[in-house]
Structure 1
Amino acid sequence: MIYTEGQTWETGYSGQLTINNDGDAALTDWTIEFTLPDGAEVTSLWNAELQTSGGTYIVTPPSWGADVPAGGSYGIGFNGSFSGGETAPVTCLINDAPCSGEAPDDTEAPTAPTALTATATTATSITLDWDAATDNVAVAGYEILDGTGEVVRALVGDTTSATVGGLSPDTEYTHTVRAYDAAGNRSAASAAVTTRTETDNGGDPSGPGDDRRVGYFTQWGIYARDYLVKDVDTSGTAEKLTHINYAFANVSADGQCFMANQTGEGDAYADYGRSFSAADSVDGTADSWSQDLRGNFNQLRELKEKHPHLRVHISIGGWTWSKNLSDAALTQDSREQMVSSCIDMYLRGNLPVIDGAGGTGAAAGVFDGIDLDWEWPGSAGHPDNTYRPEDKENFTALVQEFRDQLDALATETGQDYQLTSFMAADPEKIEAGYEVAALMEDFDFITLQGYDFHGAWEDTTNHQSNLTPIPNDPGPRTYSMQETVQAYVDRGADPADMVMGVPFYSRGWTGVPAGPDGDGLHQSATGAASGPYEDGIDDYKNIKDLSGYTLYRDEAAGTAWLYDGTTFWTYDDPTAMEQKVAWAKQQGLGGIMAWSLDGDDAQGSLITAIDAALEQP
């Protein structure tokens, strides 16, 4: 492995670690450990995971893997700060062997990239394209630099397009791009391009603000949780949302959307059969036995009448109901059948008659779009769910079919129908299941899983929704929103088209010792903490008032947790929500999504904190 230094500026510099594999087999696992001179430190690193132990930096493959092929190389870039003097590593080991520090017999730099242009802009991002550089051996990747010469994006491979996010609206930015090879030689920078970002972020024009505020309403929340559509109104939540996703629509074994079947699956009673009293109705009027639409669907229609800016999407799939989606997406015929059945049932509103409710057009006007929640294409989800390697391309084709049929319906009705999707956080699942660039052509926006990173299915306490990597995270897998967002951006997503998910619930363990810091974090547990609906999980509205617990925070990661010496709950309170929103805005993301609205308290404290933070300049 070799180290090469890149650009330097007043208080910082960029560097690269390049692993050269001279063996005849791929290097599938590697660990780099290095130290820096006094006054120098790593401030950000890409293409790998970074942990620190004392003054030693420990670099390991990213969570989605980074095999170094036989005869090939792999580059890891970083930005650092220094106070003068040397910046090169003082000590360096790779897999416990000394780094060679010697470059291959290649001292020729690549040619400079040409024809750098800005091909797309939003209020918070700029997409750049360029013509490829050439090299006497091979170009290993590219670096995008800002107007000060600092590296703001580093790319591995032959890609010649990238999006720079986290920018400010209506602001000029200057960028250049340069190429590098496996020996660490860097080209001269391309000609500079100066671009001004848009004045707004392209969010929905109506509603409480430009940023999207999406909340999931769960069909089953009206039972044990006693959370009704009316509560979305009385808590003040409805006026702060732009979208409600109704969870979930079911897909049958033969690939069609359905409300309820002969085996008892589905709950058409909650959807449109239940009669709500005047006290439980949004409009204060009791349902009558003769209505063709009752239940949650009718309440959602009343909610939209009271809050015209709201859009309501039907969410298809979910953890349990994704089990038939791989089959439904398998062929062109099956995709057409599934999409047609879902649009007919939810957007045209043609419901089967059950207990006197339903019929042709009964639910027309309730739903404004489709939200796809396939967990997960190409990867395991619920134990009963089917998945295949070909799900990746089939999901793209399914999304295209939805887009085509929605566009045709829009032409027919004169209405606008949106198409969104809930997407995985795990970079391995992203790689296995999504052709991101192609998908983003058809989605209005996507929401990212920003929670369930850890839970009581593991025997060690941890954060479930951290923004940034956690030092000394014990795993078994490490996650952070930073890595998730970067994985999508690297594959062609615009940050402004991504909405970050946040949890309105907590994950908990019991039998937890205090540990060296006394806070219970990263400690072995004997099991899941007791919960009212299932062990290991509870709503924010219940967690917030626990007595006998001490509150802890990681400000940078936007996490909070409660610990009483035995039980540990990782959760998000209003302060953590404000931290998460601030981070999402810095990344140029397009808003916030909450799972799920029934976890908030009667005053809507979490959504209020989110709304206030989004409104901040």
Structure 2
Amino acid sequence: MIPCGVWARRALNEISDVYRTNQFKARIGWASSMGDSCLRRLKHTLDQPGVHIMISLSRWPVVLAPAFTASSIFAADISSLNIAVTSDWNTGHNGEITFTNTGDQPIEGWTLSYADGSTLNQAWNCQWTLESGRHIISNLSWNETVQPGATISVGFGADGPFQTDFTDAMFNGEPVGVLYNGEDDGDDGNDDGNNDDGNNDDDGNNDDGNNDDGNNDDGNNDDDGNNDDDGNNDDGNNDDQSSGCIGDADGNGTVDVDDLLLVINDWGFCTGCPGDLDDNGSVDVNDMLVVLAAWGACPDVGPGDKRIVAYYIEWGIYGRDYQPADMPLDKITHVNYAFANISDDGRIAIGDPYAAIEKSYPGDTWDQPYRGTYNQLNNVLRAEYPHIKTLISVGGWTWSGKFSDVALTDTSRQIFASSCVDFIRMYNFDGVDIDWEYPVCCGMGSNTYRPEDRENYTLLMAELREQLDMAAEEDGRDYLLTIASAGGVDKLENYELAEIAAELDWVNTMSYDFMGAWDLSLTGHHSPLYPNPDNPSPNPNVRNFYNSDGSVQPWLDAGVPPEKIVMGVPFYGRAWGGVNATDAGLFQQANMVPPGTWDDWSSGATGINDYSEIAEMIESGGYVRMWDDVSKVPWAWNPNAHGGHFISYDDPESMQYKMDYINDLGLGGAMFWEVTCDREEDLLNVIHQSLSD
């Protein structure tokens, strides 16, 4: 017979419809004859006054139906509906209705209705019907759940001029106030006086997560600011779990099967036990009901001081089969989406339309305005992880060719900035990350370069800042502006460091790709924390400043506040082949570029390996992990592969040194390139544990 804990995990994994339409209900849909004794034990545990239990040992479901509603324990609420005009013309207008869950618990399913108002002829992001003079607007499958702090927006088209006589407004059967364009109309008795437009989710941190300087991804991830923690529950006051979430007994940011099992295991008198969620000295049915009522992802309790910025690559949906939902968003604060391009007329442009807005995912409907990874990241996943901020990253190594042109004149800067504002509004991004590789020189040979790029880059950021701030005031939310900056000190001479940083929420330093197989004359570390004096490079910048510390110090020396600096780290390695075996290949000559993890016919051999693949190489034997205690980074060496295979990379030990550096200097967090390279989350776990409050 399987243990009751195993049985319960399998059974409870299928709990559904918890806290649905304000009726607390849990259905357990799995069972076998082996679970009968455990079921009887569960029934005995839950068979308490106020709980009605129906059980059939031969056929399920088991239904737990408490004689109260969830709203009697925790409130899921909205402050008001905000109805705003987004565009109008002589014969009609488009508008938007937004609301925010201002309560403590998720709203599972929603319907709003009202009488009178504008004469609608269509609606999107919702189901819309007209019944007996009342407009009925309800959720679609993908926006059914509204997490605490999350905002839902639905759009509509209407005939004639905009009307401000929406009356008798109801939300899930309860009266609710109405605001017009963010302002109370003064005569709606249901209005609570709040003029929030529903977009209150930004913490003011806008990090961007940079790309890279030698290939088209840079992978920044720095800083998490997250509310998840290391699994230590709390100090005995279990209504204040480390995740800040009632019901999260194990403190991991999600109320799930593990929390319910923890309650069962702690059953009885138990002062200070993690399962004693109501802190009354006893783990009992009340604690179990707390868990079931709070089921799901915990609400965000606000980001901490540090940022953890992840780059998500648009092309990851193909060969890598890494979809937006695969990201460990509970360990990340910001996602930089790589990349958007620049059109020939100087405007931001979608990189891959199929991936971004056309690809269908489960739950998509024919009438939603866009699908694809944009919708998954900015709408579907945001509902589950309301703390996440997303930025569209523009440019990268491959698409930086037109930055010099868009930064050149007042007019070109205004056009580009205006297009970015329109873009993030249309696709619900929280900001813009500029990854210009690079101003003045040193990117792809096909790029346009000008000596005045240095000053024009600052002017471009100033224009973006001004237009984003104006949009933020109009929209009632904060918009972020960041850049991915060069790591090499010689390239940083082409930035007005203090001036450009003043326009930004923060800077993501691309503190990697300092060495690579584009130069076969010398192997070395592509992301050392500190310089190694044994490096024989004839270039003094490479010897002394091509390292993480060397990429950060120029910003600090220019007077940039340390909290505005997010240091980039790589989740990938760079390799050389045909390497001399002296010193296990370190600082030796090579003669070939070895294969990488994701090479194909178009890329050829790249010598770029995911960290996950490198870890497997070392575990499988043949490769030896070496350590440079001066630069505080490892390398992998195999004399029998590819004529001598040298791989420079970061592992958990070197990542810990870098996180200590970030904390010791009071930097703003960490950025990483990129999230698909660390499938087991070994590196991300170090970042998250080190930078979380």
Partner of 2:356: 271
Offset from partner CA, 1:295-353 (integer Å, 9 cap, x none): 101110211111111100111111011100100110000000011112112x220xxxx
Q: Is the 8 A contact 1:275 1:289 kept in 2?
A: no
Structure 1 position 368 matched with structure 2 position 430: yes
Structure 1 position 380 matched with structure 2 position 430: no
- State the SS of the aligned residue for 2:683: helix
Q: Give, in whole Å, the separation in 1 of the partners of 2:339 and 2:302.
A: 24
- State the SS of the aligned residue for 2:365: coil
Choose from 558, 581, 594 the match for 2:632.
558
Partner of 2:575: 508
CA offset at residue 379 of structure 1?
Answer: 1.7
Q: Give, in whole Å, the separation in 2 of the partners of 1:288 and 1:522.
A: 56
Partner of 1:251: 342
Q: Give, in whole Å, the separation in 1 of the partners of 2:441 and 2:561.
A: 24
Q: Which amino acid aligns with 2:611?
A: Y
Partner of 1:545: 616
Alignment of 1:382-421 (within 5 A): 382-421=444-483
Q: Give, in whole Å, the separation in 1 of the partners of 2:518 and 2:638.
A: 21
| Moved >4 Å (runs of 4+) | 205-208
Alignment of 1:565-604 (within 5 A): 565=639, 566-601=644-679, 603-604=680-681
Q: Residues 208 and 414 (structure 1 numbering): CA distance in 2 closer, same or farther, change over 3 Å?
A: closer
Structure 1 position 449 matched with structure 2 position 449: no
CA offset at residue 374 of structure 1?
Answer: 0.6
Q: Give, in whole Å, the separation in 1 of the partners of 2:579 and 2:663.
A: 35
- State the SS of the aligned residue for 1:593: strand
Q: Give, in whole Å, the separation in 1 of the partners of 2:664 and 2:683.
A: 20
CA offset at residue 558 of structure 1?
Answer: 2.7
- State the SS of the aligned residue for 1:488: helix
Choose from 496, 501, 510 the match for 2:563.
496
Q: Is the 8 A contact 1:252 1:258 kept in 2?
A: yes
Offset from partner CA, 1:566-617 (integer Å, 9 cap, x none): 101111112221111112222221110010101111x32211111112248x
Structure 1 position 239 matched with structure 2 position 330: yes
Q: Give, in whole Å, the separation in 2 of the partners of 1:542 and 1:302.
A: 30
CA offset at residue 254 of structure 1?
Answer: 2.0
Q: Give, in whole Å, the separation in 2 of the partners of 1:613 and 1:306.
A: 24
CA offset at residue 424 of structure 1?
Answer: 0.7
Structure 1 position 528 matched with structure 2 position 593: yes
Q: Give, in whole Å, the separation in 2 of the partners of 1:600 and 1:271.
A: 23
Q: Is the 8 A contact 2:324 2:373 kept in 1?
A: yes
Offset from partner CA, 1:492-549 (integer Å, 9 cap, x none): 212221000000111011111210x3x2101111111111323211111111101310
Q: Give, in whole Å, the separation in 2 of the partners of 1:593 and 1:450.
A: 9
Q: Is the 8 A contact 1:207 1:242 kept in 2?
A: no
Q: Which amino acid aligns with 1:532?
A: T
CA offset at residue 206 of structure 1?
Answer: 5.5
Structure 1 position 320 matched with structure 2 position 415: no
Q: Give, in whole Å, the separation in 1 of the partners of 2:678 and 2:398.
A: 23
Q: Is the 8 A contact 1:555 1:579 kept in 2?
A: no
Q: Is the 8 A contact 1:208 1:239 kept in 2?
A: no
Q: Give, in whole Å, the separation in 2 of the partners of 1:290 and 1:599.
A: 35
Q: Give, in whole Å, the separation in 2 of the partners of 1:207 and 1:510.
A: 47
Q: Is the 8 A contact 1:369 1:419 kept in 2?
A: yes
Q: Give, in whole Å, the separation in 1 of the partners of 2:405 and 2:457.
A: 11
Q: Give, in whole Å, the separation in 2 of the partners of 1:571 and 1:209.
A: 28
Q: Which structure: greater helix fraction?
A: 2
Q: Which amino acid aligns with 2:513?
A: D
Q: Which amino acid aligns with 1:444?
A: D
Q: Is the 8 A contact 1:553 1:561 kept in 2?
A: yes
Partner of 1:308: 386
Q: Give, in whole Å, the separation in 1 of the partners of 2:609 and 2:646.
A: 12
CA offset at residue 428 of structure 1?
Answer: 1.5
Q: Which amino acid aligns with 2:581?
A: A
Q: Give, in whole Å, the separation in 2 of the partners of 1:552 and 1:226.
A: 32
Structure 1: gaps of 5 or more residues:
1-204, 260-265, 279-285, 350-362
Q: Which has the larger radius of gyration?
A: 2
Q: Is the 8 A contact 1:248 1:318 kept in 2?
A: yes
Q: Give, in whole Å, the separation in 2 of the partners of 1:473 and 1:493.
A: 30
Choose from 481, 488, 505 the match for 2:548.
481
CA offset at residue 238 of structure 1?
Answer: 0.6
Structure 1 position 209 matched with structure 2 position 304: yes
Q: Give, in whole Å, the separation in 1 of the partners of 2:632 and 2:346.
A: 40
Q: Is the 8 A contact 2:311 2:335 kept in 1?
A: yes
Q: Which amino acid aligns with 2:676?
A: D
CA offset at residue 287 of structure 1?
Answer: 2.3
Partner of 1:422: 484
Partner of 2:315: 220
Q: Is the 8 A contact 2:334 2:391 kept in 1?
A: yes
Q: Which amino acid aligns with 2:597?
A: P
- State the SS of the aligned residue for 2:414: helix
Q: Give, in whole Å, the separation in 2 of the partners of 1:306 and 1:332.
A: 41
Q: Give, in whole Å, the separation in 1 of the partners of 2:304 and 2:434.
A: 24
Structure 1 position 614 matched with structure 2 position 691: yes
Q: Give, in whole Å, the separation in 1 of the partners of 2:434 and 2:346.
A: 14
Q: TM-score, normalised by structure 2?
A: 0.53
The root-mean-square deviation of aligned C-alpha atoms, in Å, is 1.5
Structure 1 position 292 matched with structure 2 position 372: no
Q: Which structure: greater strand fraction?
A: 1
Q: Residues 207 and 531 (structure 1 numbering): CA distance in 2 closer, same or farther, change over 3 Å?
A: farther
- State the SS of the aligned residue for 2:616: coil
Q: Is the 8 A contact 2:512 2:547 kept in 1?
A: no
CA offset at residue 554 of structure 1?
Answer: 2.0
CA offset at residue 557 of structure 1?
Answer: 2.1
Partner of 1:56: none
- State the SS of the aligned residue for 1:422: strand
Offset from partner CA, 1:214-255 (integer Å, 9 cap, x none): 0000111111111111110xxxx2111110000111112221
- State the SS of the aligned residue for 1:320: coil
Q: Is the 8 A contact 2:484 2:509 kept in 1?
A: yes
Q: Give, in whole Å, the separation in 2 of the partners of 1:551 and 1:208.
A: 36
CA offset at residue 387 of structure 1?
Answer: 1.3
Q: Which amino acid aligns with 1:507?
A: R
Offset from partner CA, 1:151-175 (integer Å, 9 cap, x none): xxxxxxxxxxxxxxxxxxxxxxxxx
Q: Give, in whole Å, the separation in 1 of the partners of 2:672 and 2:301.
A: 19
CA offset at residue 208 of structure 1?
Answer: 5.5
Partner of 2:496: 435
Partner of 1:115: none
Q: Is the 8 A contact 2:532 2:630 kept in 1?
A: no
CA offset at residue 490 of structure 1?
Answer: 1.8
Q: Give, in whole Å, the separation in 2 of the partners of 1:599 and 1:209.
A: 25
Structure 2: gaps of 5 or more residues:
1-299, 600-605
Offset from partner CA, 1:32-87 (integer Å, 9 cap, x none): xxxxxxxxxxxxxxxxxxxxxxxxxxxxxxxxxxxxxxxxxxxxxxxxxxxxxxxx
